[in-house]
Structure 1
Amino acid sequence: MEEQRGAVGVLRKERGSEGIRKCPRRRCSSASSGVHKISDIIGLVFRNKKATFALVCQTLKHLPIIKDVLDAATILNAKWKRQQDLIYIITYDILFGQAVSLVGDAEKFLMHRKDALQTALARLLVKKNVKTPQDLVDLYRIPEVSKPRYVRVNTLKMDVDSALLELGQQNMVEKDNMVPDLLVLPPSTDLHNHPLVTNGSVFMQGKASSMVAAALDPKPGWEVLDACSAPGNKTVHLAALMRGKGKIIACELNKERVIRLKETIKLSGASNIEVLHGDFLNCNPNDSSFSKVRAILLDPSCSGSGTASVRLDHLLPSNAAGHAAGVTDTERLNKLAAFQRKVLMHALSFPAVERVVYSTCSIHQIENEDVVKSVLPLAASYGFQLATPFPQWQRRGLPVFEGFQHLLRTDPVEDGEGFFIALFTKRDDKNHSEKQATCRNNSKSLARDSCTE
């Protein structure tokens, strides 16, 4: 079965990528969120996307139960334990899904032990003092908050009012009160197969994610660098904000994600985006290729903790049965923060750049306020200061340093996603230019007294 084999690959990718996530990286937010976002992450395209998506999400929802059943049944030897993703998928189908075809060794192995699996499930229900498998699922479930659905109008193809009119024929739609090209729809709205989505006239993109490019606010005709661009939703948003004029350099290191990035660009109709397959840290700020870059969007790899509930991360093995909720890997966060500081310092060093946005979909101070605070001396030496994106937004940064009120946070519960945005803008100070030049020649040091203010 194609969707079963495809689901195994997706599940393996999901379970293997718990550590570091690139945003936007949404997984199984609900059955209506669509497998399209899964393929955004892994760069795969299945003929039967909906069936694959449903199988992956249902397996993830039942994963703690499946693991307990397999442990109790004691039927797996070392060979099958090495193929646990396939075992999880087939076990889900045997216990909760559709009839299993005896097409492979794993299917035959488990079907011959179906009685043992069903007996283990029955005993688990008794042990947990519940009546149905759904009751077991509910034990592991994070309460779901009803959130509106957002779509961003791709103004390269369609104006906002026209999109509002067309979507309003079947849905209650209104304009967002903050992001001009964002529309708000009821929580249950499913637009994955809507013509406006499939032809790239609108993108299914959350409000917090849409605020990132809007905060950078690039002008038509500018040259802009998107430092970590795949899957490309923010990249093509930049193109729309620039009305297709100027130039966007979209930098992406991962080969598979470059393919996905190019697909997003093609869907958007943007013609002013140049894809650079390479490491942003290897981009020489003094190279003539970047001499006209005036703005940089930096959305680096992060923990993804602000979108964990949307992606059902609480159902992945590190948060499943036997693991305490909310436990974080300090070493992993420290490594992420070190990388984030490095790329932010690099972004600030481009001579012609006037605006830099640093964003994450993390709730952790170490990836957000601490990163920003650590680069402030260097930023000041280059003539940058913190500015206030969306000043009308109520949730600001944590009060851990002077100027925290310039930072922007969204809350994963109240706003649906936990994002962080910091905007650096360059002061218009001609007398500062000489000091800037001196500091660039010593950019590896953050502690030069002559370079701080």
Structure 2
Amino acid sequence: MAPPPPTKKGNVARNHRISSRNGAERSAYFARREAAGVLRRVLQDDAARRATASIKSLVYSPSVRNKKATFALVCQTLKCLPIIKDVLVATQILNSKWKEIAMAGAVEKFLTLHKNKLEYALAKICARRKVKKIEDLLQNNCVPVASKPRYIRINTLKVDAEVVMQELGKTNIMVSRDDIIPDVLSLASGLDLHDHPLVRNGSILLQGKASSMVAVALNPIPGWKVLDACAAPGNKTAHLAALMKGQGKIIACELNEDRLKTLEETIRRSGAPNVDVVHCDFLDINTRDPLFKEVRAILLDPSCSGSGISAERLDHLLPSYEKGEDAAACKSDRVKKLAAFQTKALLHALSFPAVERVVYSTCSVYQTENEDVIKSVLPFAKSLNFELVTPFPQWPHRGLPVFEGAEHLLRTDPKEDTEGFFIALFVKKSGKTNRGSRLSSAKKLTRQKRYTPYPFCKLSAFWFHKRLTKQGSKKIKH
């Protein structure tokens, strides 16, 4: 008996199912493409040991459309990467033609043709390791990550805390206000707000508690000219603008072109009216340039190892990650080079003629990038009448006691409820005693060798710092 002819209603339902299936397949296809692009960047940077962006920042960039699916694919692929490599080696399908296939963009089709061979190799690996399924293979590659609250910062340029708490409450999101930073809210761990309307319109920023402490420590006065020396991705810049109530001027410097775009997007979304983004190297700034000679406060958050946010960055998923490697990493050539750059940048920040407050911060837990940098610049800072001041006196974790005055420094503990951050606050004293001492030292050094005294360029500042350090052990003769 022939089946009944399809009705109009049946055709509509069938077309809807086909359309939905095609839409889902198309979405999955683009998610795979986007995940492949993120993975390529992550693995290339990791192989070169130059992680310029974290997994999360790459996935949640404006260019990625299907963020949730892309993030899941990237994380799962990185978790399975050792097993994937073993399977590919066992099948030996990556032959001489592989590069041609990859160049042609037919990789997914090629792997699908070899699906049976790949599954057979995986089954043999499971049998050899005496496990029944792939999840059991992954157990050895898993690194437990402590559950921490999700922090967000309210953008007071657009909205106040009560409005945000009411909006989040409508979706049954439990919210509590932070007892240290009024504009920071604490939410449940693992909550994904990247697509929330308040995030998309810039009313709230997905910024950690420790990161939010940096701009507050600088405490710029509305109307000042402020410099954010290494500004991307821009969360701290936007926070400065909010603290200054949109008044005065903030100059946000960034050298990297890709990060510059992220910075510009963050500022645009935040609605900050008083930020000028400058594409330049902070170290190349002439401190006497009319654009910079009236800068009163500087936020310096330079490139660092990121060791304090390795869990948030998902570094444990990277091929280069090794358990217990911190002891060696803190003494690595990379960290030493970073510390040399950080020292040079801090010396330069302190040498701006009108600057009164300088905050130095890192998202590192290594002494090399933190206390050691501060200790090395202290003689120079004191010669310019700067002193270390205690930010957030009620905060329990202070600097490592490696020099007198380290108790003024601030650390946050990544094992507790924040990222691992370090903050040092330099404030210029109003008296003139140290200034006279500094000028006297400069004259002595100038008479000895015909160097140019203050004002300093970045090289003369570095030279002067070294000369002052030597004076502590050897008196200069005239």
TM range, normalised to the smaller chain? Answer: 0.7 to 0.9
Is the 8 Å Cα contact of residues 154 and 201 (structure 1) preserved in structure 2? yes
Q: Does 252-261 or 427-436 show the bigger shift?
A: 427-436
1:5 corresponds, among 9, 29, 33, to: 33
- Paired residue type of 1:133: I
Q: Is the alpha carbon distance of 1:317 and 1:80 closer, same or farther for their aligned partners in structure 2, counting shifts above 3 Å?
A: farther
Which runs of no fewer than 5 residues in structure 2 stay unpaired? Answer: 1-28, 443-452, 473-478
In structure 2, the partner of 1:309 is 311
* Bigger Rg over Cα: 2
CA shift, 1:349, in A, is: 0.7
CA shift, 1:49, in A, is: 2.7
Q: Distance in 1 between matches of 2:470 and 2:249?
A: 32
Is the 8 Å Cα contact of residues 236 and 270 (structure 1) preserved in structure 2? yes
Cα deviation code 1:231-282 (max 9, x no counterpart):
1011000000111011000000112221111111110010100011110011
Pair 1:64 & 2:65 matched: no
Is the 8 Å Cα contact of residues 356 and 427 (structure 2) preserved in structure 1? yes
Q: Over the residues paired in the alignment, what is the CA RMSD in angstroms?
A: 2.5
1:209 corresponds, among 211, 217, 224, to: 211
Is the 8 Å Cα contact of residues 200 and 267 (structure 1) preserved in structure 2? yes
Larger RCO (CA within 8 A; separation ≥ 6): 1
Matches within 5 A, 1:111-190: 111-169=112-170, 170-190=172-192
* Secondary structure class of the residue paired with 2:135: helix
Cα deviation code 1:286-332 (max 9, x no counterpart):
21211221111111111111111222212212127xx8744527111
* Secondary structure class of the residue paired with 1:248: strand
Is the 8 Å Cα contact of residues 343 and 376 (structure 2) preserved in structure 1? yes
* Secondary structure class of the residue paired with 2:93: coil
Cα deviation code 1:207-254 (max 9, x no counterpart):
111111111111111111000101101100000011101100000011
- Paired residue type of 2:281: D
Q: Is the alpha carbon distance of 1:155 and 1:44 closer, same or farther for their aligned partners in structure 2, counting shifts above 3 Å?
A: closer
TM-score (norm: length of structure 2): 0.82
Is the 8 Å Cα contact of residues 216 and 355 (structure 1) preserved in structure 2? yes
Q: Distance in 2 between matches of 1:351 and 1:285?
A: 7
Which runs of no fewer than 5 residues in structure 1 stay unpaired? Answer: 29-36, 88-102
TM-score (norm: length of structure 1): 0.86
1:242 corresponds, among 226, 241, 244, to: 244
Pair 1:440 & 2:454 matched: yes
Q: Does 131-140 or 351-360 show the bigger shift?
A: 131-140
Cα deviation code 1:121-168 (max 9, x no counterpart):
223323444332222223212212111111100000011222222223
In structure 2, the partner of 1:353 is 355
Is the 8 Å Cα contact of residues 38 and 55 (structure 2) preserved in structure 1? no
Is the 8 Å Cα contact of residues 21 and 304 (structure 1) preserved in structure 2? no
Cα deviation code 1:345-367 (max 9, x no counterpart):
11111111111111111111111
Q: Does 70-79 or 254-263 show the bigger shift?
A: 70-79
* Secondary structure class of the residue paired with 2:380: helix
Q: Is the alpha carbon distance of 1:79 and 1:265 closer, same or farther for their aligned partners in structure 2, counting shifts above 3 Å?
A: farther
Is the 8 Å Cα contact of residues 59 and 71 (structure 2) preserved in structure 1? no
Is the 8 Å Cα contact of residues 344 and 358 (structure 1) preserved in structure 2? yes
2:338 corresponds, among 317, 336, 343, to: 336
2:224 corresponds, among 201, 222, 231, to: 222
CA shift, 1:67, in A, is: 2.1
Matches within 5 A, 1:276-291: 276-291=278-293
In structure 2, the partner of 1:27 is 55
Is the 8 Å Cα contact of residues 152 and 204 (structure 1) preserved in structure 2? yes
Is the 8 Å Cα contact of residues 150 and 191 (structure 2) preserved in structure 1? yes
CA shift, 1:112, in A, is: 2.8
CA shift, 1:80, in A, is: 3.8
Cα deviation code 1:349-398 (max 9, x no counterpart):
11111111111111111111111111111111111111111111111112
* Secondary structure class of the residue paired with 1:166: helix
In structure 1, the partner of 2:3 is none
* Secondary structure class of the residue paired with 1:350: coil
Cα deviation code 1:385-432 (max 9, x no counterpart):
111111111111122111111111112221342111111111221233
Q: Does 64-73 or 412-421 show the bigger shift?
A: 64-73
